[in-house]
Amino acid sequence: MAAITMKNIVKKYGDGFPAVNDVSLDVRDGEFMILVGPSGCGKSTLLRMIVGLEDITSGDMLIGEKVVNKVAPRERNLSMVFQNYALYPHLTVFENIAFPLRLAKKPGDEVRRRVTETAELLELTEHLERKPANLSGGQRQRVAMGRAIVRQADAFLFDEPLSNLDAKLRGQMRTEISRLQKRLGVTTVYVTHDQTEAMTLGDRVAVLRMGVLQQVGSPRELYEEPVNLFVAGFIGSPSMNFLPASVDGSFLETPLGRFEVHDERKVAAAGDRDVVLVGIRPEHFEDASLVSEEKRQRGSIVRARVDVTEWLGNEQYAYVPYEAPADLAAQLRALSRELDSDQLRTQAVVALDASSEIRPGREAELWLDTSRIHIFDPSSGENLTRDEERVERLGRIAEESRDAQREAQREAATGGATVAEP
């Protein structure tokens, strides 16, 4: 087990384009770190540089205390699960899992013991003699995991390991990976473009955009205190609404209407800018008729015409189209394209309670929680209302819950062992 430290890592390809640009990242010993970002953001390249399959143009990569820039992959003692699993089709499941041990020239009985243990852990025991071609997607995935955990690697690296599975299996494997990592306590770096995986698995999440690290933090920090427009838009589904607004005292003038921000600090953050972007998550809206009087006081009410509603059972989405000034509309469009979701029109997505009776085509009263809004600088994209104190508190909470989870998994593991040996 070891920490992984990246110092000013740069990766330039032949044409001089930096796929990864000046990334510094600390993965602590035993931590589950997620690398996330839209396609082409350099997250896989970064992972491949950690494992040594990609050369580092400049910067230092440290595993433990050792600089490994020039060390061959086989000498880094890391194990990796590939997106397409990369199982050896000519070998049985047993030999696939045993492969790293055989290369390390471990004695036969030790190989057998460790492969059997791993197979039990992953419930592969009855498939050990089969070839990968005869296995289902989920089983193949488990074999790939088995090959990764069978030897005592310093860290596990996952390159979008669940993207080839169907939705149901993905959910199961996700919890399985989480449980396994917590139990083994091995440093893990996990690349994904999937929101849910990023939010549920990671102790910390690193968001990349065009090779540049945007923000590293606990999932909750990223969601509640994003540093800029990009992170705010990338994390969360449906994504955060960005409304152009002009500041007028403690009021904001938006395309959805004029509302008061009851927070001095937020208003002050906007400074003397004429135009800002207001970020409001869909779930921070509510049907005004369902909001209690007391809660009403904490937010503001806007009136808007709802275009389409989608009723999902547990909640419903309402879409509110609006007109934005041409330059800001273009900027928002560019942002949404970069986030892999080419939104055709400027519209706000509003998550309402499933019991709401707001109907499409009519004017509706929407309550919004102004204490949760963010204000962004439209030119730099910077979040002007990020609350550093809160960030620190969130970090502490994440740390504590992580330790608690790890403890629970270890107890479960040792508890299971005592039951098994009467």
Partner 1 sequence: METGRSKALWIVASLLILVWTAFPILWIVMLSFKTPSEIGNVQGFFPQDWTWQNYETVFKTDLFTSALINSIGISLIATFVGVVFATLVAYAIARLEFPGKRLILSFALAIAMFPVVSLVGPLFDLWRNIGLYDTWPGLIIPYISFALPLAIWTLSAFFREIPWEMEQAAQVDGATSWQAFRKVIVPLAAPGVFTAAILTFFFCWNDFVFGISLTSTDRARPVPAALAFFTGESYFEQPTTAICAAAVVVTVPVVIVVLAFQRRIVAGLTSGAVKG
Q: Which residues of the shown chain bind partner 1 in the complex (CB under 8 A)?
A: 51-53, 72-74, 78-80, 82-84, 86, 88-90, 99-100, 103-104, 147, 151
In angstroms, the Cα distances linking 395 to 23, 84, 252, 387 are 21, 34, 31, 12
Least distance CB 173 / partner 1 (angstroms): 19
Cβ–Cβ under 8 Å, residues 35 and 49 = no
Using CA atoms, how far apart are residues 297 and 204, in angstroms rounded to an integer? 35
Sequence-ordered alpha helix ranges (H) in 235-318: 264-270, 293-298
Cα separation, 69 vs 95, whole angstroms: 31
Q: In sequence order, what are the beta bridge partners of 350?
A: 318
Contact 164, 132 (CB under 8 A): no
18-27/187-192 β-pairing: unpaired
39 vs 355, beta carbon nearer partner 1 = 39
Q: How far is the CB of 148 from partner 1 (least distance, A)?
A: 9
Q: Which C-beta is closer to partner 1: that of 132 or that of 202? A: 132
Please, what is the minimum distance in Å from the beta carbon of residue 89 to partner 1? 7
- Closest approach, Cβ 108 to partner 1, in A, equals 17
- Quote the DSSP letter at residue 358: -
With respect to partner 1, which residue has the nearer C-beta, 190 or 322? 190
Least distance from partner 1 to the Cβ atom of residue 174, Å: 22
Terminal alpha carbon distance of the chain = 31
Residue 147 or 182: which CB sits closer to partner 1?
147
Q: At what angle do helices 93-103 and 108-121 cross, to 10 degrees?
A: 130
Nearest-Å Rg of the Cα atoms of the chain is 25
Taking the complex as a whole, the smallest distance from the CB of residue 69 to partner 1 amounts, in Å, to 16
**Residue 386 Cβ vs partner 1, minimum distance, rounded to whole Å:** 39
Considering the complex, state which of residue 80 and residue 199 has its C-beta at the smaller distance from partner 1: 80
Least distance CB 106 / partner 1 (angstroms)? 11
Q: Residue 281 CB, nearest distance to partner 1 (Å)? A: 38
CB-nearer residue toward partner 1: 37 or 100: 100
**Cis peptide bond upstream of 244, omega within 30:** no
Query: Which one, 80 or 245, has the nearer CB to partner 1?
Result: 80
Q: What is the C-alpha separation between 116 and 169, in angstroms, rounded?
A: 24
Alpha-helical runs (H) found in 122-217? 137-149, 167-184, 195-201
Nearer to partner 1, 82 or 317 (CB): 82
Nearer CB in complex with partner 1: 131/333: 131
User: Are 214 and 23 contacting, i.e. CB atoms less than 8 angstroms apart?
Assistant: no
Dump the DSSP string for 18-85: EEEEEEEEEE-TT-EEEEE-STTSSHHHHHHHHHTSS--SEEEEEETTEE-TT--GGGS-EEEE-TT-
